[in-house]
Amino acid sequence: MTNDLRTRQINTIRALALDAVKKANSGHTGTAMALAPLADVLFTKILKYDAAAPMWPDRDRFVLSAGHASMLLYSMLYLTGYGITLDDIQNFRQWGSLTPGHPEVGLTPGVEVTTGPLGQGVANAVGMALAERHLRARLGSEIVDHRTWAICGDGDLMEGVSHEAASLAGHQQLGGLVLVYDDNQITIDGPTSLTFSDDTQQRFESYGWHVLDLGEAAEDTDRLESALNEAAEIADRPSLVIVRSHIGFPAPTAVDTPGAHGAITDDQEIAAAKTAMGFDPEVTFRVDDDVLEAYRKAGARGVVQHADWKQRVADSDVDPGWIQALLTGSPLPNWSDELPNYEPGTSIATRNANNHVIDALVDVVPSLVSGSADLTGNTGTNLAAEALTPARPEGRKLYYGIREHAMGSVANGMALHGGVLPVVGTFLVFADYMRPSVRMAALSGAKAIFVWSHDSIGVGEDGPTHQPVEQVASLRAIPDLPVVRPADANEVSQTWNFAIENNGPIAVILTRQNVPVLEGTSRPGQVQRGAYVLIDAPDPAVILAGTGSEVQLCVEAAGSLAAEGIASRVVSMPCWELFADQEETYRFEVFPPGLPVVGVEAGVSLGWDRWADVTVTIDQFGASAPGSQVMEEFGFSAASVEAAARSVLQ
C-alpha cells in the first residue's frame, strides 16, 4: 500500500482495531478493519458534528447498528477529538472503561444509541430521522436541519425488526436517513449463502427507498464520498447505500472468513496485516502525529457550523422558551396544572383515563408524540392531534402499523435524538414482541413511555391468547424500568406526573374494563412513592395490598372485614420498583414488620413473596368468557380477598 497521509489515516483505524482486540483478547476485529475507509470518509468529509460539543442539538446523528464493530467507532471518537484517549482505546472491554464491548449511550461521548442486539440500531436510526424531520417542521430549517447516518450488516438485515422499521421509513418517505449496508457476506456460522438469498436492493426499493449499490467500493474513498453525498440530498425517501466489503482486510488469511468476524488475535496474522499496511509489526497503538492532526482538524470542522447555528437561534423570531422546550423535550411551566382529577364513585377504564391525560397535556408538553401499533383507539394513546405523515411531519400522532418490535425501537431512537417524548401503545400481551426494545430503552435510559392496556384476564372473551397473566412480572424483571399499574383514573394522572419528570423509560399498565375511582387516590405524590396507605384503621390486624384493578377488591374486602370486627389496612402498590427505592422508614410505615400482608393482583404470583405472606393471584392461563365472569371464576373477588385475610390471621 502507498504511504500517503489518507492511506495512513485509514490504516491507523485498522491497526487500532487489531491492537485493542488483541490486548483485550476479546472483541470483533474484521468489520472495523473492512470499514475503515468508510469511517474515514464519514468523519472527515460527510458528518456535521463538533467533536468538542458532542450534544450540539443540530449535529448529524451516527448510529453503528453493527455494534460489535465498536472499535471502528471508538477509533474515530478518539482520533477526531471527542475526549476519548489512547488509554481508553488500550482499555477496550475492561472494567470501568469508556470503550465497552458494544457502544453505550451516556457512557462514551459521541455514542448516540446503545447497540448490540442486531437490527435495533436500524430502527433507532429511523426514530432519529423521524424526530429530526418532526422538529424541523415545527421549528424551521434554520434551527433544525441535520441527517441521520447508520451502518448495518447482514445480521441487522436478517433480523425482523429491521424489516418493520425499513417498511415504516419508506412509507413515511423519510428523507435525510442514510443507511449504509456492509455487504461482507459473512456471518459467524459461515458465508451468508447458508441462510440468506434476499435481493436486498429490490427489497428496499419495494419499501420505497432510494438504493445505491456500489459493489466493490469499500476501498474507494472517492466513490464512497460521492454516493454518501448523493444519498444525503434525497429529500423524499430514505437511502440505502450497499457496499461490498471484505471482512478482515488486509489480514492475509483471515480476510473473508467467519473467524474475522470475531477477535483476530494470532500474532503472525496481526504482524502480516500490519506489514501489508506499511506499519512496523512490533509497534502497537501507533498513531502518527500528522494522522492525529488531520483527524483533529476534521473533528473541529463543525466549530464554525455550530457557532453559526447558535447565532441563527439567537436571531430567530421563534420564542426562545419554545425553542428550548422543543429541543430539550421539556414541558412548559406549570404543565402539571393540566392533569385531570376525577371524583370518587365515577367509573372509567384506566386506558380511557390515559387518553384524557395525554389530550390534556398535548399543549403543555410540546414534545409529546403518541401512537400505537394499530390499536390507537383501544390503548388510550389516541392523541387529539393531527397524524404525523410525510405531508404533515409536524403531526403529533404517529401510526406505526402492526409493527410492535419496530415501534419500540423507533421510539427509543426518537427519545435518544432529543426533543421528542414518544408514547407508544399496544395490548400488554404483545409486550413480548417489544421486549428487546424495552430492555434497550431501560439500558439506554431512553425516555420513552410504553403504554400497555388490556392488562389481565379481565380482557374476557378474547381468551388466554390475549390475557397477559405473566407479562407484568416479566416486565418487573427488567432493571431501571418502573412498571406502574394504576388503580384508577387519579392514579393514571399521578403516573403521568412522574413519567414527565422521570429521566428514563416507564411502563404504564392499563385496564380494558371500567374500574371505580376510589376515595383517597387523588392525594398528590402517592404514585411517585410506589405504594401508599389508601385506607387505614386503628391497630390493623392485616394489610390488603393490591395493584391496578384489584385495589377495588381490597377496599371492598376491608369494609366486609371491618363489619366482622377485623381491622385492616388497604395499600395501593402501583409501582414496586419505586416503592423499593424509598427509604426504609417509609417502607416500614406502609408495611410495618410483623403485620401480615395479603397481595392481590390478577397476574402470576412471582415476586409477591417479597411483599406478601399470602396472595390472591393466578398461576395459570385464563379462559374465554365475559371478563367479569372470568375474574370471578379465577377467584378475583372481595370474598376471596377476605378469605385470604382470614387464613393469614389464623
Give me the DSSP letters along 339-351. Answer: S----TT-EEEHH
Asked, as a colleague might, if the bond just before 250 is cis with ω within 30 of 0, I would say: yes
Contacts of residue 632, Cβ cutoff 8 Å, sequence gap at least 6:
none
Q: What are phi and psi of 343, to 5 degrees?
A: -80, 135
C-alpha cell at 567: 381491622
Chain CA centroid to CA 121, Å: 10
Would residue 144 be called left, alpha or beta, if left means φ above 0 and alpha means ψ between -120 and 50 degrees? Answer: beta
404 is a catalytic site residue? yes
Q: How far, CA to CA in Å, does 579 sit from each of 144, 202, 595? A: 40, 52, 18
542 DSSP β-pair partners: 568
Query: Can you point out the beta strands (E) in 51-154?
Result: 61-64, 148-153
User: What is the rounded distance in angstroms from the CA atom of residue 237 to the CA atom of residue 171?
Assistant: 9
SS3 per-residue string spanning 430-488: HHHHHHHHHHHHHHHCCCCEEEEECCCHHHCCCCHHHCCCCHHHHHHCCCCCCEECCCC
| Among 574, 575, 535, CA closest to 557 | 535
Helix (H, G, I), strand (E, B), or coil: what is residue 187?
strand
User: What is the rounded distance in angstroms from the CA atom of residue 618 to the CA atom of residue 399?
Assistant: 34
Angle at 261 between CA 259 and CA 264, to 5 degrees: 60
Angle at 117 between CA 112 and CA 118, to 5 degrees: 90
User: What is the rounded distance in angstroms from the CA atom of residue 199 to the CA atom of residue 630?
Assistant: 49
Burial code (b: 16+ CB inside 10 Å, e: under 16) for 77-86 equals bbbbbbebee
Burial code (b: 16+ CB inside 10 Å, e: under 16) for 607-638 equals bbeebbbbbbbbeeebeeeebeebbeebebbb
Q: How far, CA to CA in Å, does 86 sit from each of 4, 75, 99, 231, 556? A: 23, 9, 11, 33, 65
Find where cell 412480572 sits. 473
Q: What are phi and psi of 210, to 5 degrees?
A: -85, 125
Helix (H, G, I), strand (E, B), or coil: what is residue 385?
coil
- In the set 225, 269, 404, 601, the catalytic residue is 404
Query: Can you point out the beta strands (E) in 550-624?
Result: 568-572, 597-600, 614-616
Which active-site residues does the annotation give? 404
